[in-house]
Structure 1
Amino acid sequence: MAAASDKARFFLEQSVPELKEYERKGIFSADEITSIARKRSDFEHKINARGSTATDYARYAEFEINVEALRRKRVKRLGVKTTTHGGKRRIFFVFDRGTRKHPGDVDLWLQAIEFARKEKAYKKLQQIFASVLRLHPRKSDLWIYAAEFAMDENGDMTEARSYMQRGLRFCKSSKPMWLEYGRLEMSYIAKLQARREILGIAGSEARRATESAEEDENVLQLPKLTAMDVNPDVEGEEIDKAALQTLDSTPAMSGAIPIAIFDAAMAHFQDPAFALDFFGMVTEYDNLPACRRIAEHVESGLMKDYGQDWHSQICHIRLPVVSVPADSPAFVPAFREVLKRLKTAREKIQDPGFVPSARSCLQGLLELPDLDPAIQTVGDAVLASLQIS
């Protein structure tokens, strides 16, 4: 117990100059300084004693985060020169001590990650990711989180792919991991498309590239993809990042990588339910030229191998209106084809899961903006006839 008290006293003494400066500059009153010191003393004695938990560290970090937020507000309001003591360093120090003592507590790691991300402490965040992924390589959510950070915050698609591919070595049986890998690639295509539109080069050239890809799948003008790019079980540690980086060019818009991801995942899972989830994810990007081609690939594979499964039929029903704007003339015949396929599927599919999913699919179409009133009327009538038993 004496050792715990000595450690607590040592850490508390380190914060004395900081507290004195706060009082001297009028950032905190004497009573507030006393209250902060008392709370820190309580936390330090608690975490240095036997039986301390990850929750104790989390609460300590939360307290320090609140103190730092209040300090910043007062510094800004009072116009005081920034203090030399780093509030962030103190908070990260609490997290570091906590994660070293309780490395198995993922929630504490996530709290540290969220704080680092909020503070834009990217170098520290990289260190945290490296540590937590080394300790918890089979937590697929952590790999997904790291990939999203690399893509959204750093804008580094190569790093994001690296996280996904390394994660799939450990979490190959994680369906969400494969699904999010596909989503990552679709988001990247969307970013490329937006960039091209801003630069004014997203017109006929992009359409020609997509049309060419649709005409002959064996003559894709794409850098050659290795098996490692989509299937991390392949031998060898070296990831062909260079090939993936070059996909920033126009041919990337054809959607070759999401298709390869889907094929690799289906080879492993052979699960129509996963394919339907992948199809739904792809159609969230139906404004992209590549969306239609990817959706057709998913649907054709399902109908070929699992044609009698209701998940396949839902994809088959939904396909005609993929990437067809609701206010375009082409939507009317496409919607007519949807209803035709729905009628055919109802006659041969007896699985109880089909009708609820079909209703959900049709309901989603009827909620599209700019939908023609006549289509709405017909759709409502069909929807009413789809009774859930």
Structure 2
Amino acid sequence: MSAAADKARFFLEQSVPELKELERKKIFTPEEISAVAKRRSDFEHKINARGSSPADYAQYAEFEINVDMLRRKRIKRLGVKATTHNGQRRMFFVFDRGTRKFPGDLKLWMQSVEYARSQKALKKVTHTLTNALRLHPTKPELWIYAAQFALAENGDMTQARGYMQRGLRFCKNSKDMWLQNFRLEINWIAKIHARRCILGIEKDARKEEEIRLVGADEDMMMLPKLTAQDIAPEEDDHDKVDVTAVANLKSTPVMTGAIPIAIFDAAVEQFHHDADLAFNFHEEIAGLRHIPPIAAIEIHITEVLQEISSSSWQAQACLISIATLGMNQDDPAYPAALRELFRRINRGLAATKQQDDLKEWSIGLLTGLSQGDLDPALQQVLQSKVQALEAAAG
């Protein structure tokens, strides 16, 4: 026990200059300084004694985060010069000690990463993630987080792909790992498409005021629809888009959908042609069908599902969904496409034994199509079909 007390005393002594400065600048009162010192003493004795747990380190870090937040608010309110001691350093130190003592606790690693990310300490995030991945290479959630972080914070798709590819070597039997890899590529295609529309290089398939794009951290992010004329009203010949470069970009594996298709094919092969998994890939792209490469991917998934199990409800659902592929709701041919969609629903229900599943999926599809600024007559038709399916399901 004496060794634990000596360690606690050693670490407490290191915080004395900081506490004295806080008292000298009247950021904290003497009573508050005593209370902080006592709590730190309690935590230090607890984590240095036998029987400590990861939760003790997490609580210690939470306490230090609250102290630092209060310190920042007081400094701002009082208008005093910032202290020479960096509050972040104490939190990182607590987390580092915790992860060294409990390297197998994934939750503590992620708390450390999230705190560093909230403080915009991106180098610390990368360093912590690297250490965590070395110790837990078989944890899919770590590889997925690292890839999403690389793309969201650093905008580095090459690094994000690297994380995903290494992760798949260790976690090839994780369905979520394959799906997230596919989603990463789909989001990248969507972002490129949105940028091209903003720059006026190509037109968006939908006649809307905004471009909708699935994001890495949120379900949906909105980008204003701009044109090249908005960005450069008086462009000269030197500012014009290089037509050859645009054509070459369209033929790259990214913009043709070759990379997501390769991921899908490898995943289907890995899991022995699992129809449920294949359909999950299809659902990932349901909201991005207006992008040309996504349409090609959807057709490929539909063809593969027909080969895997043409009588499954998933295969029939894919056939139903592509009836309106590439169609806008204000397109003159849209009513005819809806009639074909209804016919495919009826044929699909006759072709599969999993009728309840297909009915439930079809009701969701038709309900989604009836939303928005659709013609009232078409809305009524869709609602009638939904009611008919619900009656049949009941």
Q: Same fold (TM over 0.5)?
A: yes
In the other structure, the counterpart of 1:302 is 305
Tell me the alpha carbon deviations over residues 101-125 of structure 1, each in whole angstroms, 9 at most, x when there is no partner: 1111111111111111111111111
What does residue range 212-361 of structure 1 map to in structure 2 within 5 Å?
249-251=249-251, 252-269=254-271, 270-351=273-354, 352-361=356-365
Partners in 1 of 2:333 and 2:25 — Cα distance?
70
What does residue range 64-213 of structure 1 map to in structure 2 within 5 Å?
64-203=64-203
| Deviation (angstroms), 1:195 | 2.1
Partners in 1 of 2:283 and 2:109 — Cα distance?
32
Gaps of 5+ in 1: 205-247
In the other structure, the counterpart of 1:384 is 387
Runs of 4+ with deviation above 6 angstroms = none
Counterpart contact for 2:23–2:30, Cα < 8 Å:
yes
| Deviation (angstroms), 1:79 | 1.9
Tell me the alpha carbon deviations over residues 249-286 of structure 1, each in whole angstroms, 9 at most, x when there is no partner: 33332211111111111111111111111111112222
Residue type at the aligned position of 1:358: S
Residue type at the aligned position of 2:121: A
Alpha-carbon distance change, 76 to 249 in structure 1, aligned in 2, over 3 angstroms: farther
Provide the aligned length of Structure 1 versus Structure 2.
345
Tell me the alpha carbon deviations over residues 220-252 of structure 1, each in whole angstroms, 9 at most, x when there is no partner: xxxxxxxxxxxxxxxxxxxxxxxxxxxx93333
Residue type at the aligned position of 1:353: D
| Deviation (angstroms), 1:70 | 1.3
Taking structure 1 as the reference length, the TM-score comes to: 0.85
Partners in 1 of 2:110 and 2:178 — Cα distance?
22
Counterpart contact for 2:312–2:353, Cα < 8 Å:
no
Partners in 2 of 1:379 and 1:199 — Cα distance?
37
Partner secondary structure for residue 202 of structure 2: coil
Partners in 1 of 2:266 and 2:94 — Cα distance?
42
Residue type at the aligned position of 1:388: A
In the other structure, the counterpart of 1:26 is 26
> Quick check: 155-164 or 35-44, which moved more?
35-44
| Deviation (angstroms), 1:329 | 2.6
| Deviation (angstroms), 1:186 | 1.0
In the other structure, the counterpart of 1:365 is 369
| Deviation (angstroms), 1:126 | 0.8
Counterpart contact for 1:54–1:105, Cα < 8 Å:
yes
In the other structure, the counterpart of 1:50 is 50
| Deviation (angstroms), 1:350 | 2.0
Alpha-carbon distance change, 160 to 328 in structure 1, aligned in 2, over 3 angstroms: same
Identity of aligned residues (%): 53
